[in-house]
Amino acid sequence: MMKAKIPFNIPFQSGGEIADIKRALAYGQLSGDGVYTQRCSHFLKNYLGVHDVLLTTSCTHALELAYLLLDIKTGDEVILPSFTFPSTANAFVLRGAKPRFVDIRPDTLNIDENLIEEKITSKVKAISPVHYAGVPCEMDAINKIARKHRLWVVEDAAQALGARLRGRLCGTFGHLNAFSFHETKNLNCGEGGALAFPEKRFIKRAEIIRQKGTNRAQFYRGEVDKYSWVDIGSSYVPSELQTAFLFAQLKHHHSISVKRKKLFCHYWDGLKFLEEKGIARLPVIPTHVESSHHLFHLIFPTEKWRDKVLAWLRKNGIYAVFHYVPLHVAEMGRKFGYRIGDCPVTESFAPRLLRLPLFNSMTGAEQDFVINTLTRYFL
């Protein structure tokens, strides 16, 4: 039997990262907003078709920047799914706002758009949909609700660069739209993020907040003769080394996306017997969307069953993992008054979900080993 040690993730390298980092060093500027930061911003702006894109040190910081721009404050509330990473909530909780958790759909595991309106109160100021696994939320319905109630939409597209809803790219539906380039994402620079602006109205203040509350960006463009402290802000600018690494990947965005889809489909073809036999459910991708194929998960009938499969895979050198602990029943969620039973679909699916290793450098032989190991367990 093939012996293997297959990690959950290996950060991808396209092959040009070292060369671009060396060029960044040669330019003589390591702090942010140099040549490579500008190149990445320009690429993403054109790719998404938005007014502008600002690179950040993480998706977490992109979301924090978004809520600073929207002046979210103590007493406000933001609607979001419980089945997400804590950053989606922390970004506005840091401003003193409270989460209004909404349950997820049982198919895509995205926020259930049909449950949003009943959660809206006079204190709700924004909705933050999250495209789980790179499968788009029903943004048309969500935006319709937001327009009706005059709410902001902050799109958490951390896993969804390249995903499309009815042909339209994720990360272009919200008033503000955040992306991640963490090492686990399809494109990465270790840690990194971006905030996309479909409209012009936020960009001037965003530049100031992102640059520690100063008008440094205007100074660099020659619009003012000196820069100073003009607003609240923080340090959200990535270094040129990070953006040089990222630019090397952006240049290969299409081929990376093609490979990711190929890996996803290979898992699907090899494991569809699990769904056919009622052993586990495979990911659901509606016909009107295109996924970014960020991750591949299986959903088992019970948590105990999931845990046994997880143990079997790890025994065989395959590092599979579970995913989010629902935020509403986590320690912080309970502090906001949430309890078991508040999001029943989330509570049902989260303990039964298992994520398989999926990374761009994964070989067919490695995937076959994962598939065969699962097959041996069940057949």
User: 210 and 277 in one domain?
Assistant: no
Pairing of strands 168-169, 164-165: antiparallel
User: 226 and 257 in one domain?
Assistant: no
Instruction: Give the domain CATH number at 333.
Output: 3.90.1150.10
Instruction: Give the domain CATH number at 234.
Output: 3.40.640.10
Q: Per the domain annotation, does 342 fall within a domain? A: yes
Q: Per the domain annotation, does 82 fall within a domain? A: yes
The number of beta carbons lying within 10 Å of the beta carbon of residue 98 is: 16
341 three-class SS? coil
Q: Per the domain annotation, does 260 fall within a domain? A: yes
d(CA 76, CA 126): 9
Q: Per the domain annotation, does 285 fall within a domain? A: yes
Residue 2 has a pLDDT of 44
Task: Mark which of 250, 268, 286 sits at the end of a domain.
Answer: 250
> Which parts of the chain sit beneath pLDDT 50?
1-2
All residues at 6 or more sequence positions from 17 whose CB lies less than 8 Å from its CB, including other chains: 244, 245, 248, 249
Encoding tokens for residue 150?
Answer: 């005059």
Task: Mark which of 250, 275, 290 sits at the end of a domain.
Answer: 250
98 is in which domain, residue-wise?
Answer: 17-250
If 0-12 CB within 10 Å is exposed, 13-18 middle and 19+ buried, where does residue 165 land? buried
User: 307 and 163 in one domain?
Assistant: no
Distances, alpha carbon 40 to alpha carbons 163, 320, 362, in Å? 19, 32, 26
The position carrying tokens 């896993």 is 159
User: 234 and 297 in one domain?
Assistant: no
pLDDT of 299-354, one tens digit each?
999 999 999 999 999 999 999 999 999 999 999 999 999 999 999 999 999 999 99
User: 239 and 258 in one domain?
Assistant: no
Residue 221 has a pLDDT of 84
User: pTM for the complete prediction?
Assistant: 0.95
Q: Per the domain annotation, does 3 fall within a domain? A: no
Q: Per the domain annotation, does 348 fall within a domain? A: yes
User: 73 and 162 in one domain?
Assistant: yes
Residue 3 has a pLDDT of 52
Give the number of domains in the chain.
Answer: 2
AA identity, residue 203: I
Q: Per the domain annotation, does 267 fall within a domain? A: yes
User: 166 and 37 in one domain?
Assistant: yes
User: 370 and 268 in one domain?
Assistant: yes
d(CA 66, CA 86): 16
**What is the arrangement of strands in the sheet containing 289-290, beginning at the earlier edge strand?**
168-169, 164-165, 289-290
Task: Mark which of 203, 227, 250 sits at the end of a domain.
Answer: 250
User: 281 and 222 in one domain?
Assistant: no
d(CA 158, CA 85): 10
DSSP string, 80-98: EESSS-HHHHHHHHTTT-E
Long-range (24+ apart) CB contacts under 8 A made by 315-318 are: 316/4, 316/373, 317/3, 317/4, 317/5, 317/6, 318/4, 318/6, 318/356, 318/357, 318/369, 318/370, 318/373
User: 236 and 257 in one domain?
Assistant: no
User: 274 and 246 in one domain?
Assistant: no
Q: Per the domain annotation, does 127 fall within a domain? A: yes
User: 209 and 290 in one domain?
Assistant: no
Encoding tokens for residue 288?
Answer: 């009107």
Residue 1 has a pLDDT of 42
